[in-house]
Structure 1
Amino acid sequence: MKERPADSTPSSIQPSAKEPLWTSRFIMLSVANLFLFFGFQMLLPTIPAYVTQLGGDNSAIGMVIFILTLSALIVRPFSGAALDMFSGRLILVVGSIITLIAIGSYIIAASVGIIYLLRVVHGIGWGISTTTYGTMASDIIPASRRGEGMGYFGLASTLAMALGPMSGIAIMKTYDYSVLFIVSFSLTFCSLLVSLLLRGSGKPSKEATANKTAPAIPAANSSLLSRLVDKQALFPSLLVLLIAVTYGGIVSFITLFGNEQNIANVGWFFSVNALMLFLVRPVSGKIFDTKGHVWVLLPGAVFSLAGLLLLSYTSGTPMLMLAAACYGIGFGAIQPSLQAWTVQRAAPDRRGAANATFFSAFDLGIGLGALILGPIAAATNYAVMYRLSGIMFVIYLVVYVVYIGRERKTALLGSTSSS
């Protein structure tokens, strides 16, 4: 099948001027997404320390990350299918309440086993909420500005990534875990409040549904699997899974890597990485819209691979910051572009399933990174682990280049036969 251009809006309905992006709904949705991700990012580096305090070892830390991503992975396809049928705001309320229950219950957790159970609940709420936010955003953003819009929408999670981990660590060290969980709970509750103020149902508009760019799968004739997983989303999702494995290794073990290399504050990695994400997302989104995915996804992988290799040889803060900058540039270009590409390939009434497929792959990659890379580090060290994790980007580049070659060959054959 010939690949659609980055702007897949038919030429007959191309707008003469830029369609509005910064609407009140888009801004409020971005703010709500910021609160949700901030509360989550605060717990990302602190929950492993909490597990250690309760008597858990490195294997328990890996399981804590994996359990959340696995439960989110399982629930995302169902939440995506629900989004194609029901109000996004309703699904969002359900996901937010489940998330609030999990975060509030961390305060009274007395063992690693209870933390495992709460991570299942948290993963379910997280999977529902993030899938819903991504789907609602893709419905609000004009098709002609999808790459740019998804890049800007992703800045909310980027800002949370920049400030959340360091804020969580600061609260944990200054006060205690109870205060940390209360702040995370409050931010998640604010996310729910803002989302409730959104006007509209959160479902695709009739106009958007009328302007389909890909065929929808008839519900009556489709299997359960095809309803839950969007076929058009599979290839971008494979690519995001590969890069997510490396990110899972970073968020799970970079604190321990810092201890191994005697780096005083590895929190600088999160800050510099997030700063680069913040700067590159809008630019990469515009490149995606005007030139297509090749101009973003190939250089992004090269930058990310360079970041991992630099990280593996890091022995001090300056090189750590350089590694974070390279990785952030690459990851910031790839992740939102792959999501925009996923949405672009899907029919408007299949965006819920498409987003669920994409985020499920991302979750699975993070979980696999935490589960697989940990034993590699135990057998070698964290520096070697990061070096070997770069293989994921090598696979990414090979798979993507083969895909591009096949698409261009198909397009050439098609043009030859038509002439």
Structure 2
Amino acid sequence: MNKPALWTKDFIGIAVTNFFLFMTFYFLLVTLPVYVLHELNGSEAEAGLATTVFLISAILIRFISGQWVEHFGKKNVLVASLVVFLTASSLYPFTDGLTSLLVLRFFHGIGFGMATTAAGAVVADIIPHSRRGEGMGYYVMSMNLAMAIGPFAGLAIMNRWTIQTGFAVCTAVAFIALLISFVLKKDRPERGEGTNKFKLNLAPAQLVEKTALPIALTGTFFAIVYSAILSFVSVYAEELHIGAASGFFFVVYAVVIVLSRPFTGRWFDRYGANAVVYPSIVLFAAGLLLLSQAGGAGLFFIAAGVIGLGWGTLFPGFQTIAISKARPEKKALATATFLSLFDLGIGFGSFVMGAVAAGLGFKVLYAACAVYVLVGLIVYYFVQKNNTVSEHAS
């Protein structure tokens, strides 16, 4: 029996759109702090606010974006959000102070939060049920590739040219994402034809998808640790005197994900979630332990590969579970719930992990994180004990 097609025009289109969306995000994540410090004469704390404000607006807008998707349709909301995202991307050269930058970052986060929610709902509809784990794995891989290429390109462009050139590149990338979104197949809104007047419902059941909450909170548990990698691995590399090579950490991370994705997604679909999640948690912990023992570039990059195999498989697995449990009309809300709690974990974790690193050092931090992740085996066991997902049976 032939498998239903996965690599359709729409699937490739939404994956590429997602890649450009996240590439802009990671591009600015590494370059804006430098812009705040050197161009706007801000402090390190003010530089951090540029990311915090962005994430706050993205999280807040996701709580109502799911309702917009249900009422107006996935493609309509995706296109509208990418217009907002492109407009914000084009305005960075005109910021002349910290206040204007923070206002712009809040506006930009709105576009990002809406777009990631709508894109997640689009891809959930496109992927055949029998290939849900495989398809979601490839979709999330577009984020992983953006995480490697975005910071690398951002720092390279800024070092060779200027931050203004970087802003122009971000605008061009956001424009390409918008263009691609136009060719996606138009869907029908879940609530009729979307012609009735939209009425925002602030009831908790309409802001959070309860079927996604258990796995979303589990993802948040692990996101706290993942923030220690996102926020501090480059600083740790400086401590190891390999700072020049730190940008390649996420390149190695992404390469391993690309090489493993054809297998891990299919295993998820064939054997179910637990067969993939439990080994991935162990690999994630092993990678963190290796990172804590690194004394030079060799073990540093081996750790990057193991973490890529572990966390790079774990994250799409959790997102697949979150979406699979929701009814068709609630998949956008499930995506919003999962991503919002994940971002909260990243934001909270960055603060906590920074405090731990300041007191104990990075080697102890990453060793402690390995133990923390192993505790996650117990957390996942109890969350999934009576609610095991088996994608091939869905």
TM value normalised by structure 2: 0.89
Corresponding residue of 2:184: 198
Name the amino acid aligned to 1:26.
F
What is the correspondence of 1:61-140 to structure 2 with a 5 Å cutoff? 61-140=47-126
Establish whether residue 141 from structure 1 lines up as the match of residue 120 from structure 2.
Answer: no
Corresponding residue of 1:298: 278
What is the correspondence of 1:336-355 to structure 2 with a 5 Å cutoff? 336-355=316-335
Corresponding residue of 1:45: 30
Q: Aligned partners of 1:402, 1:356: CA distance in 2, in Å?
A: 23
1:34 to 7, 19, 23: 19
Name the amino acid aligned to 1:96.
L
Corresponding residue of 1:234: 213
> Following TM superposition, by how much is the alpha carbon of 1:119 offset from its aligned partner in structure 2, in angstroms?
2.3
Name the amino acid aligned to 1:241.
T
Distance 1:354 1:159, change over 3 A: same
> Following TM superposition, by how much is the alpha carbon of 1:407 offset from its aligned partner in structure 2, in angstroms?
5.1
> Following TM superposition, by how much is the alpha carbon of 1:247 offset from its aligned partner in structure 2, in angstroms?
2.4
Distance 1:295 1:374, change over 3 A: same
Name whichever of 146-155 and 246-255 sits farther off: 246-255
Q: Aligned partners of 2:10, 2:191: CA distance in 1, in Å?
A: 14
Name the amino acid aligned to 1:335.
F
What is the correspondence of 1:173-188 to structure 2 with a 5 Å cutoff? 173-188=159-174
Q: Aligned partners of 1:380, 1:59: CA distance in 2, in Å?
A: 21
> Following TM superposition, by how much is the alpha carbon of 1:189 offset from its aligned partner in structure 2, in angstroms?
0.9
Q: Aligned partners of 2:205, 2:272: CA distance in 1, in Å?
A: 27
Contact 1:28 1:194 in 2 (8 A): yes
Establish whether residue 335 from structure 1 lines up as the match of residue 315 from structure 2.
Answer: yes
SS of alignment partner, residue 44 of structure 1 = helix
SS of alignment partner, residue 251 of structure 2 = helix
> Following TM superposition, by how much is the alpha carbon of 1:191 offset from its aligned partner in structure 2, in angstroms?
0.2
What is the correspondence of 1:265-414 to structure 2 with a 5 Å cutoff? 265-406=245-386
> Following TM superposition, by how much is the alpha carbon of 1:18 offset from its aligned partner in structure 2, in angstroms?
1.5
Distance 1:58 1:100, change over 3 A: same
Residues 70-92 of structure 1, C-alpha deviation per residue, up to 9 Å, x if partnerless? 22111112111211222212211
Distance 1:140 1:252, change over 3 A: same
Name whichever of 50-59 and 358-367 sits farther off: 50-59
Q: Aligned partners of 1:158, 1:69: CA distance in 2, in Å?
A: 18
> Following TM superposition, by how much is the alpha carbon of 1:172 offset from its aligned partner in structure 2, in angstroms?
0.7
Distance 1:407 1:354, change over 3 A: closer
Corresponding residue of 2:195: none
Q: Aligned partners of 1:51, 1:373: CA distance in 2, in Å?
A: 23
SS of alignment partner, residue 336 of structure 1 = helix
Cα RMSD, aligned residues only: 2.3
> Following TM superposition, by how much is the alpha carbon of 1:298 offset from its aligned partner in structure 2, in angstroms?
0.9
Name the amino acid aligned to 1:240.
G
Name the amino acid aligned to 2:134.
E
Q: Aligned partners of 2:93, 2:288: CA distance in 1, in Å?
A: 35
Aligned length: 379
SS of alignment partner, residue 371 of structure 1 = helix
Q: Aligned partners of 2:349, 2:41: CA distance in 1, in Å?
A: 23
What are structure 2's unaligned runs of at least 5 residues?
Answer: 193-198, 389-394
TM value normalised by structure 1: 0.84
Q: Aligned partners of 2:246, 2:72: CA distance in 1, in Å?
A: 43
Name whichever of 27-36 and 389-398 sits farther off: 389-398
Corresponding residue of 1:20: 5
- Paired-residue identity, %: 36
Distance 1:223 1:59, change over 3 A: closer
Name the amino acid aligned to 2:353.
L
> Following TM superposition, by how much is the alpha carbon of 1:201 offset from its aligned partner in structure 2, in angstroms?
2.4
